[in-house]
Chain A
Amino acid sequence: MDALDLARWQFGVTTVYHFLFVPLTIGLGVYVAGLQTAWHLTGKEHYLRLTKFFGKLFLINFAMGVVTGIVQEFQFGMNWSEYSTFVGDVFGAPLALEALLAFFLESTFLGLWIFGWDRLPRRIHLACLWAAVIGSNLSAYFILAANAWMKHPVGYEVVDGRARMTDLWAVLTNSTALAQVPHVVAASFVVAGGFVIAVAGYRILRERGLAVRPGRRNAPAVQDATVPMRRLPDMWRTSLRAALVMTAIAGAVVAGSGDLSGQLLREQQPMKLAAAEGLRHDTAGAPFSIAPGVEVPGLLSLLAAHDPGATVQGVDDIQARYEKAFGPADYIPNLPVVFWSFRVMIGFGMATVGLSVLGLWLTRRRRRGGTAKPVPGWFARLCVLALPLPAVAIISGWLLSEIGRQPWTVQGELMTAASVSPGVSLGEVAITLAVFTVLYGVLAVAEGVLLVRHVKAGPEVPPIESAPAGAAPARPDDARLTPTLMY
Chain B
Amino acid sequence: MTTFWFIVIAFLWTGYFVLEGFDFGVGALLPLLSRSEADRRQVLGTIGPVWDGNEVWLITAIGAMFAAFPAWYSGLLSGFYLAVFLVIAGLIVRGVGLEWRGKVHSRREIALCDAGIVVGSVLPAFLWGAIFGNLLFGTAPATVLGGALSLSVAVLHGAVFVALKTTGGVRARARRAALLAAVGALPMAIATLPSVPGRGPAWTLGTALLAASALAAGVTLVWGRREGWAFTATATAIAATTATVFGVLWTAPLPGLTLAEAASAPYTLTVLTWIGLFALPGVIAYQAWTYWVFRKRLTAGVH
| A positions within 8 Å CB-CB of B | 56, 59-60, 62-64, 66-68, 70-71, 73-74, 76-82, 84-93, 95-101, 103-105, 107-112, 114-116, 119-120, 159, 162, 164-166, 168, 421, 423-424, 428, 431-432, 435-436, 439, 443, 446, 450, 453-454, 468, 470-471, 485-487
- On whether the beta carbons of A70 and B92 are closer than 8 Å, the reply is yes
Known: A76-B74, A88-B264, A107-B52. A59 touches B271 (CB 8 A): no
- On whether the beta carbons of A81 and B88 are closer than 8 Å, the reply is no
Known: A84-B73, A119-B293, A486-B102. A74 touches B62 (CB 8 A): yes
Known: A67-B95, A71-B88, A95-B67. A89 touches B293 (CB 8 A): no
Q: State A446–B66 Cα separation when bound (angstroms).
A: 33
Known: A73-B62, A108-B290, A428-B82. A486 touches B45 (CB 8 A): yes
0/1 interface trace, chain B 249-267, chain A, CB 8 Å (1 if under): 0000000000000001101
Residues of A within 8 A of B48 (CB): 111, 114-115, 486-487
- On whether the beta carbons of A423 and B63 are closer than 8 Å, the reply is no
- On whether the beta carbons of B88 and A70 are closer than 8 Å, the reply is yes
0/1 interface trace, chain B 54-85, chain A, CB 8 Å (1 if under): 01100110111111111101111111011011
Residues of A within 8 A of B71 (CB): 85, 88
B32 CB, nearest partner CB in chain A, Å? 18
- On whether the beta carbons of A96 and B67 are closer than 8 Å, the reply is yes
Chain A: CB-nearest residue to B296: A119
9 new A-B pairs (CB below 8 Å) besides A77-B74, A97-B63, A104-B56?
A60-B103, A70-B55, A77-B73, A82-B74, A85-B71, A89-B268, A91-B66, A99-B62, A162-B70
Residues of A within 8 A of B175 (CB): none
Q: State A77–B78 Cα separation when bound (angstroms).
A: 6
A114 CB, nearest partner CB in chain B, Å? 7
- Check: B223 CB closer than 8 A to any chain A CB: no
- On whether the beta carbons of A468 and B302 are closer than 8 Å, the reply is yes
- On whether the beta carbons of B89 and A88 are closer than 8 Å, the reply is no
Residues of B within 8 A of A62 (CB): 99
- On whether the beta carbons of A423 and B78 are closer than 8 Å, the reply is yes
- On whether the beta carbons of B68 and A107 are closer than 8 Å, the reply is no
A88's contact among B70, B101, B271, B302, by CB below 8 Å, is which?
A: B70
Residues of B within 8 A of A424 (CB): 78, 81
Which segment of B147-155, B208-216, B226-234, B275-283 sits at the interface? Answer: B275-283
- Check: B91 CB closer than 8 A to any chain A CB: yes
**9 tightest A-B contacts by CB?**
A88-B70, A77-B77, A92-B67, A63-B99, A81-B74, A92-B66, A84-B74, A108-B53, A99-B60
- On whether the beta carbons of B75 and A81 are closer than 8 Å, the reply is yes
- On whether the beta carbons of A443 and B96 are closer than 8 Å, the reply is yes
